[in-house]
Chains A and B, each alone.
Chain A
Amino acid sequence: MTSQAFPFSAIVGQEEMKQALTLTAIDPTIGGVLVFGDRGTGKSTAVRSLAALLPQIAAVRGCPYNCRFDAPNPACPHCQQHPPEREETRATPVIDLPLGATEDRVVGALDLERALTRGEKAFEPGLLARAHRGFLYIDEVNLLEDHLVDLLLDVAASGENVVEREGLSVRHPAKFVIVGSGNPEEGELRPQLLDRFGLSVEVASPDNIKERIEVIRRRDAYERDTAAFMKKWRAADTRHRKKIIAARALIDTVETPDAVLEKTAELCIALGADGLRGELTLMRAARARAAFAGHGEVTLEDLRAVAALALRHRLRRDPLDEAGSTTRVARVVEQVLPE
């Protein structure tokens, strides 16, 4: 047992999940990933390994809100009081939101220590502040208390956390990407929350015995000698991270031809996916995929590859349709984008 996350590159199979996490690491505006599947299929393993893939960010030294040095937030409670002096690089935050977290811990609250000892009214930033410019990971997202879900939705929509309580009045930027995982058998997710996730993945255990054996073999090796296992896979993880950094640099120059845009719209209309969010996400995901491959232009192949990821959770539910949403997307992709 160890606290070092399992290396991303050592995850066997689960290509779709790996692709979704990679795409959102390249372009966080895609808007996060929802991973749904049975227990023991490696959902949280994959998400926890994401941190190692993310490039570092530059921020104002000492600022708990991860403010940019060149453009600190004018409303930042820290930078208002302590003018930014120096810049530092830090890891992109991947913050765990534990299920039992209280509202205080999530949004921040009165700093008890300073209040009790010095009688000062000071704000103690919560998890949302720490997740700014990074990722917020919610395991068992479907078991999260409703009032926390409401709160997250509100902050995720506005990109700003507003705290008005205990005589405090604080607002600070909180732009983060939500990554969630859960088991659909234990409860469904409200559509409002579903819609916040850019991509969604359904994972299952591999049905091929060879793959399953490999899963067990690697996991076992990792648990028995973590250090050696990490060393073995470090190079592969580094390569993957470099590819992500290269894709980030490239993505702004990737062209999206009109033909691809048309097909994007056509797909969304054919599927009856609500709102424009689906189209935007689909396009961004396709572009990130092209950038990851080092291409200068989005192709229909990119679109085909990410359609299910970007759309399956946006379909209107049809409980009488026995086919799952993955099948429905596949059907439509087949029609709109025949190979």
Chain B
Amino acid sequence: MTAPAPIPPRNWPRIPAEDWAAALLAVDPGLGGICLTSRAGPLRENWLAAALALGTRGHARVPVGAGEDRLFGGLDLAATLASGRPVIASGLVEEVGTGTLVVPMAERLAPGIAARLGQAWDKGAGFAVIALNEATEDEPAPPRALLDRLAFYVTPEARAQRDSAAPLSAFTAEDIAGAMARLPDVSVPDALGEALVAAAARLGIGSARAALLALAATRAVAALRGHESAAQEDAELATALVLAPRATRLPDQEEDPVDPERSPPPDDTPPPEDAAEPPTREDTTPPEDLLLAAARAAIPPDMLAQLAARGALARRSGANAAGAGEDQKGSARGRPAGTRRGDPRSGARLDLVATLRTAAPWQPLRRKMAGVEDRVLVTPEDFRVRQYKQKREKVVIFVVDASGSAAMTRLAETKGAIELMLAEAYVRREQVALIAFRGTGAELLLPPTRSLVQAKRRLSGLPGGGGTPLSAGLGAALQLADQVRRRGQTPHLAVMTDGRANVSRDGAPGRAAAQEEAVATARAIRFAGIAALLIDTAPRPQQAAKDMASALGALYLPMPRVDAQALSSTLRAALNPTQGAA
């Protein structure tokens, strides 16, 4: 660990992002951690084993569904009972010390726990996190309180199976040890640090943590590469690894936002390598622009297009994750509503602490009577069980026909109704989602949310016009309703259409086939037992809409002139009677 050995020349660019991330985290746990998005499987496990082997400070795996007690410590009941005084058990966070916490199924992590992990970091706990995210594109991502503090978000590309025993591609334990020894002395030139901050700002990254993490990553890269003072290329790699996945917009440049020459060739090795060694470089280019070029190269081409099209909100680290916080919280398991006397055998959960509390004052007496000294005597009347309030949360899913000429008004008024409903949502504990269908398909414009701020942000500038793929819209609604149910919430559909489909789910035009398909999907919704409401938006009530409503098993409401106020109050009236049934 002493004399920094010179780093042998190596083919740095060939190292994939996730391996860089693992090595950098081993060098500096202050980088917070890695969010690895990947399906479970041997590939992931091998990477994980290799990554953990690089770290020198130990690790622990957080059991899925671990409660706060397990993570942050709490009363150790066995020991408490044995010793007759409260014994506090340490939690994983304390046990792991400065090691690495592995969080499997990070997308299911409760936001409350994520927030407490963040608080532990703020208070100086030195652990790192490897979060394994298995969420797919349209599912909620891990809680933002956690993501924000992790330096690296990586999605490994499929590639030849890694040998679990082999060390990470290019890095050896000596590399890491050498880099750790060099790290405290690595300096970052002011201009480079400033360029990083400027690049973060131009990529639309608000959080100051991102820039700090990029700075720390630059330092770690330099330490690994044996640079005493961080070089431009170190900062470029850090930008590709830390800033690019957080980008919410493309830096404004004259050239075409999706520049095929700059995007990495699809068949080649993963993106960051291009970042590490940009093809040519003129000394006159300001460092900030070089960093931005590195960021661009690291953003996958499809996301570049998405960012360019939307001009806002990167899906991976953006509002999706924010919605996740809300969703997971939910009331899926009901909130604790105190404890009461009761029999734990009837399926209720015993509240041990409360039970002990009840038994405690009687101990001297009972011990005397039973003639024992060192045991806690609990009798059935001490039993206390936990009560949960099963208040189910409602999710109102708007399914809006955005086709044809009236689309714009319809969408605008629906947006108004959504905002009105959300403005009251804190009272009613409702979430709202919006699916619009037009052209050849349906799109989830607003994932279930309770946040007015988020709704406003996502609903500005809705597109409209084109054909009517009613069946695609209903299909998307069914899928979302299903997801919502699995979270323990109750979905309600509010379908706004004139009931006349003319595009099939595969995008093919043709009224008859499209209509048939739409009716079939509507029946599927009905069989799934999802409460629905159909709002006929045609100028005059349509038979097609009535038929669709009966296929859906939905309440039929003609509303030729949709307006936000009327819509939200109608929905309120129509939805509330069913509340008790949910």
Contact = CB atoms under 8 A, between A and B. Distances in A.
A217 interface: yes
B326 interface: yes
B30 interface: yes
Given A109-B357, A147-B336, A166-B357, A216 B419 contact: no
A187 B455 CA distance: 12
B122 A48 contact: yes
Contacts of B336: 145, 147
B215 A220 contact: yes
B451 A187 contact: yes
A167 interface: yes
Nearest to B427: A190
Interface stretch (A34-42, A62-70, A303-311): A34-42
B197 interface: yes
B363 A319 contact: no
A140 B115 contact: yes
Given A143-B112, A219-B208, A116 B376 contact: yes
A322 B425 CA distance: 18
B416 A320 contact: yes
A86 interface: no
Interface string B120-145: 01111110000000000000000011
Interface in A80-129: 96, 98-100, 103-104, 109-110, 112-113, 115-121
Grouping DSSP codes into helix (H, G, I), strand (E, B) and loop, the B interface class, with mixed when no group exceeds half, is: helix
Contacts of B111: 140, 143, 186
A205 B86 contact: no
Given A188-B426, A216-B212, A319-B422, A147 B115 contact: no
B511 to A, nearest CB: 37
Contact of B211 (A116, A188, A212): A212
Interface string A310-321: 000000010110
A146 interface: yes
Contact of A112 (B115, B210, B356): B356
B119 A98 contact: yes
Interface string B342-363: 0000000000010011101111
A191 B426 contact: yes
Contact of A99 (B112, B207, B337, B422): B112
B357 A112 contact: yes
Given A116-B356, A146-B335, A188 B450 contact: yes
A216 B242 CA distance: 15
A218 B454 CA distance: 32
Given A113-B86, A166-B357, A40 B208 contact: yes
Interface centre among B111, B122, B376, by most A CB within 10 Å?
B122
A223 to B, nearest CB: 7
A213 B193 contact: yes
B124 to A, nearest CB: 4
A169 interface: no
B82 to A, nearest CB: 11
B281 interface: no
Contacts of A184: 451, 453
A204 B204 CA distance: 12
Contacts of A317: 423, 452
A99 B114 CA distance: 10
A185 interface: yes
Interface in A196-225: 204-205, 207, 209, 212-213, 215-217, 219-220, 223
A106 to B, nearest CB: 13
Contacts of A186: 111, 144-145, 322, 325-326, 451
A139 B115 contact: yes
Contact of B357 (A2, A42, A115): A115
Interface of A: 1-3, 38-42, 44, 48, 96, 98-100, 103-104, 109-110, 112-113, 115-121, 139-140, 143, 145-147, 166-167, 183-191, 204-205, 207, 209, 212-213, 215-217, 219-220, 223, 317, 319-320, 322
The 4 closest A-B pairs by CB, nearest first: A40-B207, A115-B360, A119-B364, A40-B209
Interface of B: 30, 68, 72, 75, 80, 84-86, 111-113, 115-116, 119, 121-126, 144-145, 148, 193-194, 196-198, 200-201, 206-212, 215-216, 319, 322, 325-326, 329, 335-338, 353, 356-358, 360-365, 376, 416, 419-420, 422-423, 425-427, 450-454, 456, 564
Given A116-B85, A213-B194, 16 more contacts: A39-B209, A40-B208, A48-B122, A116-B360, A119-B364, A143-B325, A147-B335, A166-B357, A167-B361, A186-B322, A187-B325, A187-B326, A205-B201, A209-B201, A216-B193, A217-B193
20 contacts: A1-B124, A1-B125, A41-B207, A100-B112, A116-B360, A117-B85, A119-B364, A140-B115, A145-B336, A147-B336, A183-B144, A186-B144, A186-B326, A190-B426, A205-B201, A215-B211, A216-B208, A216-B211, A320-B419, A320-B420
